Amino acid sequence: MQDLTQLSVDSELQTEVILSDYKLAVESRENSYIGRKEVFMGKAKFGIFGDGKEIPQIAMAKVFRNGDFRSGYYRDQTFMMAIGELTSQEFFAQLYAHTDVKAEPASAGRLMNGHFATRSLDENGNWKNLMEMKNSSADISCTAGQIPRLLGLGYASKLYRENPDLHSYKTFSDKGNEVAFGTIGNASTSEGAFLEMINAAGVLQVPMVLAVWDDEYGISVPNKYHTTKSSISKALAGFQRNENEKGIEIFVVKGWDYLGLCETFKKADKIAREEHVPVLVHVIEVTQPQGHSTSGSHERYKSRKRLDWERKYDCVKQMREWILSEGIATDNELDEIEEEAKSTAKNAKNIAWKAYLASVKGEVSEVLKIINKLASKSQYRTQLTQLMTTLRETVSPNKLDVEKAAKKSLRWTRKENFPERQLLIDWINERKLLRHDEYSSHVYSESEQSALKVAPIHPVYAKEFKLVDGREVLNAAFDDIFRRNPLVFTMGEDVGKIGDVNQGMAGLQDKYGELRVTDTGIRETSIMGQGIGAALRGLRPIAEIQYLDYIYYCIQVLTDDLACLHYRTKGGQKAPLIIRTRGHRLEGVWHSGSPMSMILGSLRGIYLLVPRNMTQAAGFYNTMLESDDIAIIIESLNGYRLKEKLPENIGKIRVPLGQPEILKEGKDITVVTYGSMCRIVMEAAKQLADFGIDVEVIDVQTLAPFDLNNEILKSLKKTNRIVFADEDVPGGATAYMMQKVLEEQGGYRYLDSKPLTISSKEHRPAYGSDGDYYSKPNAEEIFEKVYEVMSETDPISFPSLY
């Protein structure tokens, strides 16, 4: 480790640049001070700021180039300002949650302040030229949650550099000459995601520079409780590279030393960019003048001595003293610079606040006019007048205040029939569409590349078709995918040399190379991070979770980062990652999971595809690679060696999303299922037919999206009885399917018998064939439960079995 504190002026640093840096630091600091006051005045809900980190962030920004990517956290406001991707006005627009994407381009008011992003996509959802931009992936609040993605952003540069077939993709990379820059607070380095990623970065040798802003606390908890040796750079010393071994480079520099910071980041960037070596920059002696956030005061847990030290070694104050000591500027000149910077911040705040209020006050005026006209005719004039008065007297009204007044007016006048009342209804309906756009749009892609817009292509079979193992169908599909699209690569545990544990990738590493088909360590979180970051940079990764049960290892990064990425940027960024895994009917507690309700509850924003066989799975891979959406594709574990017909057009099959398939037509009762359960339900249906019960079997194919054209409802209208069956826990995905069909589709109106769910037991499956049989639904159980429904309807034809 090197301590690079400098005491003399670098010849490359001109007076003009130094003073400009100082001015920016003061402006950013003033934004933090004003922001805190705005929260306490009630004009914003919460504030978390980057005060104390201004000088380190300016130094890092000096080496950040077009095409580079940032993956940081919510205290990087000065860095974003320094690279020209954040203005003070935009900073305050986010603080006020302004929903105009032009005013607040990072998230259109969807995220609390300090969450930064650049817009990688145009208004139609198409990629911009990322090489003409300084890029920031979209921040999340979760501690260390930005770190897995950082690995992938750097890994993309490695692929773009080392794979010649990618050199023509010039809008995404200049042959891998880009660095991924990350930032994290010292306390968050204790998170598993950070430590896992550091190990992976050292193994993969990716070009990244990760800065740790170390203020020696994690809210109130000091470093001695967080980190071995109270220092992350000391704790990670074993990862440092040497002459004989690859690893990471580590620098240590003080957070108030302007020159030392500039020199350190210059060296770190050179190593990462030219040698493709990951670099950790441990920035120590950082202060936090206003404490952690607006939720509390750091005076409660810091000693007077510590607080006095922080005031003395505040980085902005230290820079001023250094400028004076070097004779770069006088006291009066710096006072003028500070006054101008503070004025800029104040004016930006005022403009942002007025713009935010204007967006609401226009609606206030509209609604007041309509209610006033309605009040002049209504017998409830007193009540309507009171609603208007309350709205007029609201000092800083929100949209909800306007909408409440409108809806309460409708309540009072519900028995009246004036044209003005219809005007109010029309206004509310228009606002529903607008509010959906402002607060609920872009959960999934809304572009022309949406997976929902990919046209289906059915399998074509030769007259003399060949029956092969399911794994061979998948293998043929992946072979065609890799041949056609150089942007596609896959990585995961055992994916490469042995072709994955079920041979779906057999032989493909030998054919396409290790960069395309890559083995990884056992590290699900960083595998997903590799995929997310690479997808953010235009690549098309297929990231594998070896068994579906292992999704719990990486559920945090999937739910907090990937699933909400498109939403939290309001369509500004996309990461079309495919997550490949296998699940369902293997045996044992940890290898047979079907946690669909957990996935559905946690990962909205990611499509959930549940093919019953490998031909369907192949079609889903093709569909998703034609789209810009994200999906989990769960292959059936017991389907790899089952025989299937090999389609002639394996590379062209497209299975549509949200369109169930009727596997068997019937007139008595509908059974809805998916995945491996399709075979079990079909076997039960065959047995039931022997006893005069005609079952219609439907494979939903995709749980999210679910039956977009209400095909299941059509079946229910015919049979008037319905059963939902799967391998999830009771009240899991069966309840989800029931809600979709009976509530959303209105299926309750067509029921002649109570709806039924058949699921696994509450516990995880026991081991062995008997354990599986008695833990999960089986053909006999399905037979008996369907039979009971029919027995209740017609006990003469179907007398009770027991």
Show which residues are catalytic. 591
Q: Residue for token digits 């939403």?
A: 567
CB 237 within 8 A of CB 250: yes
Q: Does the bond joining 705 to the residue before it have cis omega, within 30 degrees of 0?
A: yes
Q: Helix, strand, or coil here: 133?
A: coil
Q: How, if at all, do strands 578-583 and 517-519 pair? A: unpaired
| Secondary element (H or E) of residue 498 | none
Amino acid at position 255, single letter: G
CA separation for the pair 342, 348 (Å, rounded): 10
Q: Choose among 679, 680, 674: nearest CA to 706.
A: 674
| The dihedral formed by the CA atoms of 527, 528, 531 and 536, expressed in degrees to the nearest 10 | -140
Could you tell me if 289 and 52 are in contact, meaning their C-beta atoms sit under 8 angstroms apart? yes
- What is 750-799 written as a DSSP string? G-SS--EEE---SSPPPSHHHHHHHHS--HHHHHHHHHHHHHHH-TTTS-
Determine the 3-state secondary structure of 69 from DSSP.
strand
**292, 298 contact by CB (below 8 A):** yes
Q: In sequence order, what are the beta bridge partners of 217?
A: 222
Which residues in 325-341 are b (16+ Cβ under 10 Å) and which e? eeebbeeeebeebbeeb
At a CB cut-off of 8 Å and minimum separation 6, what does 634 contact? 548, 581, 582, 583, 584, 608, 609, 610, 611, 675
Q: What are the C-alpha distances in Å from 401 to residues 367, 368, 385, 390, 405?
A: 11, 12, 15, 9, 6
